[in-house]
Structure formats: C-alpha cells, structure tokens
Amino acid sequence: MKFLRDTGFLALAAFLLLLAPGCGDYYRPVANPIISGGGQPQGVHYAYVVNYNPNGDGSTTQIDVSGDTNVAVNAMGVGSISEAFPPSSDALFIANSGNDTVSEYLPIISGAITTIALLPGSHPIFVSSAQTGFMYVINSGTNSACPNTGSISTISLSTLNVTGTVCVGVNPTSLAQVPGGNFIYVLNQGNATTPPSLSLFTPGNLTTTATITSANGLGANPVSLAASTDGNWVFVVTQGSGGGPGALDIISAGQATIGASVPLGVQPTFSTIDPVLNRLYVTNTGGNSVSVFDVTNVNLSNQPAMPTLATVPVGTGPIGLTPLADGTKFYVLNSGSDDVTVVSASSYSVLTSVPLAAGADPVWIASDPTASKVYVANQGTTNTTIIQTSNNSITLSIPAPTQVSGCTSSCAMQQPVMILTQ
C-alpha cells in the first residue's frame, strides 16, 4: 500500500488553504492526504518534498527514508505548490501555479520531466486523483474555458495531455474524489460577492452536475474535504461564522445535499482519513484540539450522525496531522507552538511533544509507509525536519534548495510546502 500523507495545511489543509500570493507573499497550503496503490518496490521508500520558489522555478527534493539522505533535487515550474501520485502509478505530478503547467516524472528511475500546459490564466493550485489513468487539476484562476470561475482539468496518464477543462465555482481550492473515481467534490471558497460552495463533478462525462450551497445545507466557510475509503461518504469541514465552533457536514457519496452535521471545535482547518483504523481526524486550530471520528459508524438518521470518539488537546494552532501506517500513533503539527504532538491512537493520550526550531513556521506533516519516520516542512527555517518515531527524536533537518541555482554564499532558500511519502 502506498501512503501519501500531507498536512498542514500539509496537505496544507486538505482543504487546500492558500494565501493568494502577491509580491513577496508565499503560499500556505492545507490539504488532504491522498492514499492510493502503486508499484513502489517493497522495502524502498522515499519522501518527496515540494519547494516553492518566490523568485523562479520551484523544485522537488527526494529523501531516502532508510538513510535520511537527500538523493535528488529536480527543478519544476514556476510556483510549484501541490503534488500527487495517481493510483497504481509511480508518476509524480506537480502543480505549478505561476506558469500554468503541471510537471510529471518518474522519480524512482530519475525519469525525464514532462511539462503539461494548461490554459493561460488557469493558476493550478491542487492535483489529486483516486482514479486509475487520470490526474485532476484544480485551477483557481480564470481561463478561456471558464472566464468567470475556476475550473478542473483532466489529464490522461496515457497521453499526458489535458482531455478537458470544466468550470466549477469561484476560487476553488481542493477536491475530494470518492474511491473508485465515480464522483469528485470540489471546494469553492468564493469571494466577496459569491458565497462558498461545492461543485459535484462527474469524471465519466466531464461535467459539473450540481452545486451545493447553504440552500442545500452547506455550513458557513467550508475549508476541507475528505472521502471515506469505502466510497460511501464525503466529509466537509466548515468553520462557521463569528468565531464559534465549526461543524462537519456529511454527504452521501454522489448526492448534492448535506445529509447531516456533527459539531467540531473552534476554527477547524484540516481533515484526514486514517485508512488503517478507518478514522477521520480534524484539527481545530482555534481550539488547540483534534476531533476523532469512526467513519464506519455513520448513520444519517442518528443524532449525532457520527459519534465523536475523542477530542484531544494538543499544542497551539494545530494545522495538520498524520497517522502512522501501523495504527499505533498519530502526529499533530502545531503552527502556533512550533512543535509536534504525539498521541496514542488507542488511548488518545498525549505521549510527548517534539519541539521544532524557533521560527520554524511548519506547514506540512507526513509519515512514511513503514511508520518509522515523520517529516515536517518548515517554511520559516526553509527545511524539512525528520522525526524518528521509535523515540520521537529529531534525526536531521534537510535544507531546501537555493532560490538561485548555483548560489554558494548568503543564499535565499526555497520554501517547503508539501510532502508525500511512498
């Protein structure tokens, strides 16, 4: 099994929470982990870090899990911001928001990098797929196909060409695809004049079949999406309004209405599915806690429709989470306290806290398929921290590449923004 974990936002949040970049600004993504099968040889595992470069082409850093070594750095396009592996594939796709392209290559064989052009103005910010043979790209900008809204582009893995670009809502940030590929839900943040919404996209006929708004029960300020591994449910994290607690909206897969809602903590930002324990984790950034749910126990007729297993107090400002593949622990990334909280997956008790460097400004967290390492992307210190899970100690911090290639003195560094492991 291939575990592709993001966080923070990772990844990052799954909802992809992005700060629109202006001059001198940078992205802070928050995205959902992507879990898929693939052909990675057993016993060989890598972490892939996407680095955003405010002054040119971004890059990926490939870290060997067993040796804690930087084995490759590959140049991507301008504004590299998101990455994904399709199911049953070792091809890595990277969205380059600054030059309207997607990069594709085979990292395990150091394959040639293919640049896939999108329509001008697309501004791709998120890539994801739960469907063999295709990759989907969320375009937050307007283009000739969708002059008034964002869009979703479909890339064929067999040709590495865009087969279609379909309009969604205003300012889309992320997607969640139901396993098997039948339905895709796109989160649209909207703007000052257009309220947030979800677009229901059908990959089979490349059409947007429905729009879900507050009229269909959608809560205020949706920020993150996740789909259950059995393909039955889609979960929408909503922050609500007025600074109070948020809510988790539940959709029966393929439907265009909210079936039920359950309460969350204050200012929830990120959600992720644990495919081993069949749990949903939600970080409550404003409440300094994590809500834990059993996704096998959903009944829209019950009250609540999905019971809360636990609410775990963690560090300050949690923005991401990665569960270990062995089901023993989960690691919570805290942006406010610059640390990682380690929690028992059985008792929900806090085991320890791993401090990061002062000013780390962590944005993403991931764990490898052997459950031996946890990786943290730090934008403030422009490096990736490696935590050994056997004793929860930091073994190494790997610096990001320089912004200017070949720089050797007083160099500005690129900013790690997302991590996947394979």
pLDDT tens track for 180-197: 888 999 999 999 999 999
Cα Rg of the chain (Å, integer): 19
pLDDT class for 420, splitting at 50, 70, 90?
A: very high
pLDDT class for 109, splitting at 50, 70, 90?
A: confident
Please give the Cα distance from 13 to 267 (Å, whole number): 13
Cβ neighbours for 410, distance < 8 A, ≥ 6 positions apart: none
User: What is the average per-residue pLDDT within 116-135?
Assistant: 97
The token pair at 168 is: 């969604």
User: What is the average per-residue pLDDT within 389-414?
Assistant: 96
- On average, the pLDDT of the chain sits at 91
Please give the Cα distance from 251 to 122 (Å, whole number): 29
Contact 217, 224 (CB under 8 A): no
Question: Is the predicted pLDDT of residue 111 greater than 80, yes or no?
Answer: no
| Residue whose C-alpha is closest to residue 322's, from 372, 396, 265 | 372
Please give the Cα distance from 103 to 300 (Å, whole number): 41
The token pair at 144 is: 């000739």
Which ranges constitute the DSSP H helices of 293-386?
Answer: none
Containing structural domain, residue 258: 2-421
Residue labelled with tokens 């799954």:
14
pLDDT class for 17, splitting at 50, 70, 90?
A: very low
Question: Is the predicted pLDDT of residue 134 greater than 70, yes or no?
Answer: yes
* pTM of the model as a whole: 0.91
Please give the Cα distance from 301 to 315 (Å, whole number): 35
Query: Which CATH number does the domain housing residue 408 bear?
Result: 2.130.10.10
Tallying the residues shown for the chain, one arrives at 422
Counted domains in the chain = 1
CA dihedral 216, 220, 221, 225 (to 10 degrees): -50
Cis status of the peptide bond prior to 304, with omega within 30 of 0: yes
Q: Which of 4-18, 249-263, 380-394 has the lowest mean pLDDT?
A: 4-18
Please give the Cα distance from 85 to 79 (Å, whole number): 19
User: What is the average per-residue pLDDT within 24-28?
Assistant: 35
Listing DSSP states for 191-231 in one string gives -SSS--EEEEEETTTTEEEEEE-GGGTPPSSEEEEEE-TTS
| Residue whose C-alpha is closest to residue 419's, from 358, 375, 371, 389 | 375
